[in-house]
């Protein structure tokens, strides 16, 4: 897939890891880690609760989109394209099993995207038309 293609993917699985990072596995089988400290630094009433690591870890998948209990969500396609364009997507890599969250569940992840804005704002566009 070239970087100009618009992938129709959703998030299949995710886990909060160290600090404010998420390991995500997409519906096409690729996976990566995204650091959300840049989004938290922008602030705002929907983002404020996510500053707490315990609250951040309450993330779940709803209709293929990373979502938190307060309704804040991240567009899965933009998340995918960020990770892809930064070269941070892999197929079945593996987050180090030293992480307690991963050791408990036996989950795997991959490389990380640095914490910096890569051209999109979270929660502006939410695509909720995924069927896996």
11-113 folds as: NE0471 N-terminal domain-like (3.30.2020)
Contacts of 77 by beta carbon, 8 Å cutoff, 6+ apart: 6, 7, 8, 9, 127
d(CA 32, CA 89): 5
Tens of pLDDT, residues 85-122: 999 999 875 553 333 333 333 333 334 444 333 333 33
Separation of alpha carbons 8 and 12, rounded Å: 13
SS3 54: helix
In angstroms and rounded to an integer, the radius of gyration of the C-alpha atoms of the chain is: 14
Q: Are strands 30-35 and 60-62 parallel, antiparallel or unpaired?
A: unpaired
**Residue 29, CB half-sphere, CA atoms under 13 Å: how many?**
2
Q: Which residues of the chain have pLDDT under 70?
A: 1-4, 93-132
Residue 5 tokens, joined: 């293609």
**Whole-prediction pTM:** 0.68
- Distance from CA of residue 26 to its chain's centroid? 9
Find how far residue 58's CA is from the centre of its chain: 13
Residue spans per domain, the chain = 11-113
């Amino acid at each position: 897939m070239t970087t100009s293609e618009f992938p129709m993917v959703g998030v299949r699985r995710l886990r909060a890891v160290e600090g404010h990072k998420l390991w995500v596995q997409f519906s096409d089988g690729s996976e990566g880690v995204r650091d959300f400290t840049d989004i938290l630094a922008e602030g705002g009433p929907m983002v404020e609760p996510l500053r707490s690591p315990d609250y951040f870890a309450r993330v779940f998948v709803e209709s293929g989109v990373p979502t938190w209990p307060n309704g804040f969500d991240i567009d899965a396609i933009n998340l995918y394209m960020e990770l892809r364009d930064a070269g941070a997507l892999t197929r079945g890599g593996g987050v180090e099993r030293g992480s307690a969250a991963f050791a408990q569940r036996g989950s795997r992840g991959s490389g990380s995207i640095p914490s910096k804005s890569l051209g999109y704002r979270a929660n502006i566009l939410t695509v909720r038309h995924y069927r896996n």
